[in-house]
Amino acid sequence: MDLVFATASQLARMIRDQKVSAVEVLDAYLNQIDKHNGKINAIATLDTEKARTRAEEADEALAKGENWGALHGVPITLKDTFKTAGLLTTAGYKPLKNYIPSQDATVVARLRRSGVIVLGKTNLAEMASDFQSTNELFGRVNNPWNLDYTPGGSSGGSAAAIAAGFSALDLGNDASGSSRQPAHFCGVYTLKPTDRRISTAGHIPEAPGMPKCIRQLMTVGSFARSIEDLQLCLSLIVGSDPRQPDVPPVPLDTVEAKSLSDIRIAWSDSWQKITPTLEIEQAINLAVNKLKPVCAEMECWASPPFDLQEAFQVCNQLTALNFVYSQPADFDASKKALPVMFREATQGDKQLRDLSNLSQFLPSLLNPTLKGYFEILTKRDRFIAQMDKALENCDVWLCPVAMTTAFTHRSKGSVIKIKEHKVPYFLANGGYTMLFNLTGHPVVVIPIGLSESGLPIGMQIVGKRWREMELLAIANEIDKIAGDFQYPPL
Q: In terms of pLDDT, which residue wins out, 396 or 273?
A: 396
Q: What is the pLDDT of residues 49-62, one digit of tens each?
A: 999 999 999 999 99
What confidence score (pLDDT) does residue 69 get? 98
pLDDT tops 90 at residue 217: yes
What confidence score (pLDDT) does residue 404 get? 98
Band of the pLDDT at 335, cuts 50, 70, 90? low
pLDDT tops 90 at residue 105: yes
**HEC assignment per residue over 354-411:** HHCCHHHHHHHHHCCCHHHHHHHHHHHHHHHHHHHHHHHHCCEEEECCCCCCCCECCC
Mean pLDDT on 464-487: 97
Give the mean pLDDT of the chain.
Answer: 94
Catalytic residue among 129, 133, 178, 226: 178
Using left for φ > 0, alpha for ψ between -120 and 50, and beta otherwise, residue 202 falls in left
Whole-model pTM: value is 0.96
Band of the pLDDT at 326, cuts 50, 70, 90? confident
Q: In terms of pLDDT, which residue wins out, 320 or 121?
A: 121
Band of the pLDDT at 351, cuts 50, 70, 90? confident
Q: What is the pLDDT of residues 110-155, one digit of tens each?
A: 999 999 999 999 999 999 999 999 999 999 999 999 999 999 999 9
Band of the pLDDT at 343, cuts 50, 70, 90? confident
- Give yes or no for a contact between 38 and 74, defined as CB atoms under 8 angstroms apart: no
Spatial neighbors of 335 by CB under 8 A, at least 6 apart, are: none
Distance CA 105, CA 125 (A): 19
Distance CA 338, CA 44 (A): 27
Q: What is the pLDDT of residues 5-38, one digit of tens each?
A: 999 999 999 999 999 999 999 999 999 999 999 9
Band of the pLDDT at 322, cuts 50, 70, 90? confident
Q: What is the pLDDT of residues 352-393, one digit of tens each?
A: 777 777 666 677 777 888 999 999 999 999 999 999 999 999
Going by C-alpha positions, the residue among 265, 260, 271 that lies closest to residue 298 is 265
pLDDT tops 70 at residue 323: yes
Band of the pLDDT at 338, cuts 50, 70, 90? low
What confidence score (pLDDT) does residue 347 get? 78
Q: What is the pLDDT of residues 289-312, one digit of tens each?
A: 999 999 999 999 998 998 999 999
Catalytic residue among 9, 21, 79, 179: 79
Q: Percent of the chain scored above 70 by pLDDT?
A: 97
- Give yes or no for a contact between 156 and 130, defined as CB atoms under 8 angstroms apart: no
Kindly list the distances between the CA atom of residue 133 and the CA atoms of 143, 156, 287, 325, 412, in Å, as whole numbers in the listed order: 10, 5, 29, 23, 10
Using only C-alpha atoms, the chain has a radius of gyration, in whole angstroms, of 21
pLDDT tops 90 at residue 265: yes
Going by C-alpha positions, the residue among 36, 42, 68 that lies closest to residue 55 is 68
Q: What is the pLDDT of residues 224-261, one digit of tens each?
A: 999 999 999 999 999 999 999 999 999 999 998 779 99
The answer to whether 154 is a known catalytic residue is yes
Using left for φ > 0, alpha for ψ between -120 and 50, and beta otherwise, residue 21 falls in beta
Band of the pLDDT at 1, cuts 50, 70, 90? low
Task: Give the chain's domains with CATH numbers.
Answer: 3-237 (3.90.1300.10), 260-482 (3.90.1300.10)
The answer to whether 178 is a known catalytic residue is yes
